Structure 1
Amino acid sequence: MTESEQPPIPLALAHLPVVGGLVVPWITPRTPDSRYLLGTVDVDRMNACLQRRRCGVCGRDLVDRTVLLLRLSDLPRACTNEPGLHPVCAAYTIKACPMVGGRMTQYRRSPRLLGPEHSTGPDAQQRLGAPREPWFSVWVGSYDLIEADGNLAASYAKLGALRVRPINWLLPGLM
């Protein structure tokens, strides 16, 4: 993504750091030498967002409708390990994140060397080099906090979804 293709940063995200013209999500960890590890999560911040109903991008409280971003393989489970997002934060993420937005065709091939306070997600090993999946935005009024794959997760299985929308339904190679 070139600078001219980068989405404008919403005012609601102006308090966050910016790297390469893109907002750094609140749950993104930082190395001791101050580099942000985009594509990974600070486990403590991720869990705090899930437990306290805070947005994973801006870090602020979720009060109204929440958007959960799920991969196709997450839909049958009706849950995700990713924190919920405000609608404006979800819209920005869809435009800014190359994986969610469908601009990357596969996950990275080699694992990142991370400390115990960082995570790439419970299924990171299985995703190494795999083609990306279609992503969906799932709008919910609220979610239940559950444990899935040994991690906290936001579930809408009992509460239902208000709306499920495909973000990038076409599989890699078909676009």
Structure 2
Amino acid sequence: MVPYISYTHNGLPVFGGLDRRNSTRAFEHALCQICERPLERWFYVLVRPQDEGVGYATEPGLHPPCLKYSEQACPMLNGTRATYRPDNVIARHPAGRRCDDPACRRCPATAPSAESQVRAGLKADDWDAWMLSADQYELHRDDHGTAVGIQLPSEPKRVRRVRVSPERKRGLALMAALKELGI
């Protein structure tokens, strides 16, 4: 299955390369980032610690079965990759090559995003899956009014750990021990 938000060009998908146009469309129409169907009453958003800090998730929501698929297929979520790619995957991927259509609007889309440049080669993030209800679906927009994320509510319906680094495991254990002591 090719995730809806994956960059695709020349008939080739780039796993790990996000298509900003499809992401924006998914945000605006409350579509699943994997299957492109409308989100239902209950859905998940994938949240990193830095997303909590800014108050919004940077990826579109997912249906519960699509989250399960993502957890199995995505090396960032399932822990098989320890770091982000050191370079722009789209630029070196066959999908990043110019096609024969001079009017193609997808060819120039190979520039890396600011976020991918910042995290290139860094340690993989921790990820949680936040379950939200349809009434909690609220978009976060940039200065130009473009939807760039889903606002994180103060009280998600459920939070499930997806990828937990050893450092985070120690921190969570320490927090649990302090809570148990009443501190």
Which TM-score tier does this pair reach, normalised by the shorter chain? Answer: 0.7 to 0.9
**Cα deviation code 1:54-110 (max 9, x no counterpart):** 100000001211100112221222311210000110111011101111111000111
Identity over the aligned pairs, expressed in percent? Answer: 26
- The residue that corresponds to 2:20 in the other structure is 43
Please, what TM-score do these two structures have when normalized by structure 2? 0.72
How far apart are residue 29 of structure 1 and its match? 2.0
Question: 1:94/1:63 Cα in 2 relative to 1: closer, same or farther (>3 Å)?
Answer: same
Stretch deviating more after TM superposition (104-113 or 69-78): 69-78
- 2:127 aligns with one of 120, 123, 135: 135
How far apart are residue 116 of structure 1 and its match? 4.3
Please, what TM-score do these two structures have when normalized by structure 1? 0.75
Which of the pair is proportionally richer in helix? 2
The RMSD of aligned alpha carbons is 2.3
**CA separation in 2, counterparts of 1:148 and 1:69?**
19
Stretch deviating more after TM superposition (149-158 or 42-51): 149-158
Amino acid of the structure 1 residue aligned with 2:153? A
**CA separation in 2, counterparts of 1:163 and 1:95?**
20
**CA separation in 2, counterparts of 1:104 and 1:85?**
22
Give every structure 1 segment of 4 or more consecutive aligned residues whose post-TM-superposition deviation is greater than 6 Å: none
Asked if 2 retains the 8 angstrom alpha-carbon contact of 1:43 and 1:119, the reply is no
**Cα deviation code 1:13-54 (max 9, x no counterpart):** xxxxxxxxxx2101112122x211110122221111101001
Helix, strand or coil: the match of 1:129? coil
**CA separation in 2, counterparts of 1:61 and 1:118?**
28
Quick check: which has more Rg, 1 or 2? 2
Asked if 1 retains the 8 angstrom alpha-carbon contact of 2:128 and 2:162, the reply is yes
Q: 2:34 matched to 1:57?
A: yes
Asked if 1 retains the 8 angstrom alpha-carbon contact of 2:57 and 2:152, the reply is no
How far apart are residue 132 of structure 1 and its match? 0.4
- The residue that corresponds to 1:161 in the other structure is 156
Asked if 2 retains the 8 angstrom alpha-carbon contact of 1:70 and 1:136, the reply is yes
Helix, strand or coil: the match of 1:59? coil
Helix, strand or coil: the match of 1:100? helix
- The residue that corresponds to 1:145 in the other structure is 139
